[in-house]
Amino acid sequence: MVFLLLIFLIVIHRGYSQKENVRYSPPHICALKNSSVIINCNFTYPPERSIMKTFWTKTKNRNTDNEFPDLSEDPEYSQRLQYLGDKQKNCTMRLSHVTQKDEHKYYFRFITDKANVKWLGEPGVTLTVLDLQVESPERVTEGDSVRLTCKSSCALTDRATFIWYRNSQPLTERRDRNNILLLQSVRREDAGRYSCALQEHTYISPEVHLNVVYPPRNVSVFMNGSGEIVEGDSVTLICSSDSNPPAEISWIKGGTTVGSGRIYNISKIRSDHREEYKCKSRNEHGEKYSEAVTLNIMCELVSSVTITLNYFFYMIVSDICLF
């Protein structure tokens, strides 16, 4: 009885091992662009046969000699494909510098010494090639915190370590433990082009621009010329301010808005311009006024008038301007 069972088991075992078979583990592989991928593969064949040829193919269409095309003879692959297996049971291969064009099903093929004992390893192994993508809000207000995510639909191992770049410079500080970069209390200097990568992989994601917005600051008024203004002169006031997005500028004289735009021209200045001017810088995040500037207008007294005037009168007119 035991003997029969043993025979039975041997027959079962022989029956199993005689079957041509190819197994891929895992059957789906997600590879990062430009990385090297190892496709693990095992095969079995009838023990009384010997293997004449092993190769990988990516199509089930036969070529002219009624055989599947050997990938290692394909110029697109020959430099990148490396057969790591043997002619016994291991059919592992490595494909390096994976590109989007490599997204395919791949099949292992073996040919034995017996003409009709050939095998194509169905259903093949599926290679998916994926990009890394930075997900980020387009803009963040200064002082807020922002979270950037390095997205990959590849099921990456937990040990995957992400590297972040700003303007192509690796960020050594503030790297999060997983695929998230958290910027707390964002500063203007944090604006820039962000990309991410995986440690030990050369592929870097496309860059994503992070814009840091903030209300106006450093609002000040500059005046062209020496500052000595004589009646009838033209004066240009320039409002400078720092903001993102750019601010709308308006000009205030006394309490009244008198103009807009970064540059304010006063032509033919008269004494009633002797007032305080301010500019106001405003964007959707806030507004800020400059310090007031006072135009210091010198009176130009016509000398012939002065000469004929007595001293008393001169004292009076020197403080107001004549027209």
Ligand X SMILES: *[C@@H]1O[C@H](CO)[C@@H](O)[C@H](O)[C@H]1NC(C)=O
Q: Name the residue nearer to ligand X (CB basis): 98 or 127.
A: 98
The stretch among 82-90, 161-169, 181-189, 313-321 that binds ligand X (CB under 6 A) is 82-90
Nearest C-alpha neighbor of 85 from the set 53, 27, 41: 41
List the alpha helices (DSSP H) in the chain: 2-18, 303-308, 311-317
Q: Is residue 84 at the binding interface for ligand X, with CB under 6 A as the rule?
A: yes
The yes or no reply on residue 203 touching ligand X (CB under 6 A) is: yes
Number of residues in contact with ligand X under rule CB under 6 A: 11
Residue of the chain from 59, 218, 224, 236 that contacts ligand X (CB under 6 A): 218
Nearer to ligand X, 18 or 92 (CB): 92
Contact 276, 221 (CB under 8 A): no
Judge whether 239 and 251 are in contact, CB under 8 Å.
yes
Minimum Å gap between C-beta 95 and ligand X is: 13
The reply to whether 318 sits near ligand X by the rule CB under 6 A is no
Helix (H, G, I), strand (E, B) or coil at 12: helix
Give the nearest distance from C-beta 83 to ligand X in angstroms: 9
Candidates 115-123, 144-152, 200-208, 253-261 — which segment interacts with ligand X by CB under 6 A? 200-208
Give me the least distance between CB of 41 and ligand X, in Å please: 8
**Looking only at residues 255 through 294 of this chain, which bind ligand X when binding is defined by CB under 6 A?**
none
Give residue for tokens 């903030």: 214
User: Between vectors from CA 106 to CA 129 and to CA 120, what angle results, nearest 5°?
Assistant: 170
Pairwise CA distance, residues 164 & 181, whole Å: 8
Q: Which of 42, 126, 133, 271 binds ligand X (CB under 6 A)?
A: 42
Least separation in angstroms between residue 206's CB and ligand X is 10
Q: Which stretch binds ligand X (CB under 6 A): 68-76, 83-91, 149-157, 169-177?
A: 83-91
DSSP 185: S
The answer to whether 44 contacts ligand X (rule: CB under 6 A) is: no
Cβ closer to ligand X: 45 or 266? 45
Provide the residue count of the chain.
323
d(CA 30, CA 123) in angstroms, rounded, equals: 17
What tokens does 48 get?
A: 């009384």
133 binds ligand X (CB under 6 A): no
- Position 85 contacts ligand X (CB under 6 A): yes
Q: Which residues contact 80 (CB under 8 A, 6 or more apart)?
A: 95, 96, 97
Distance CA 20, CA 54 (A): 13
Report, in Å, the least distance between residue 66 CB and ligand X: 30
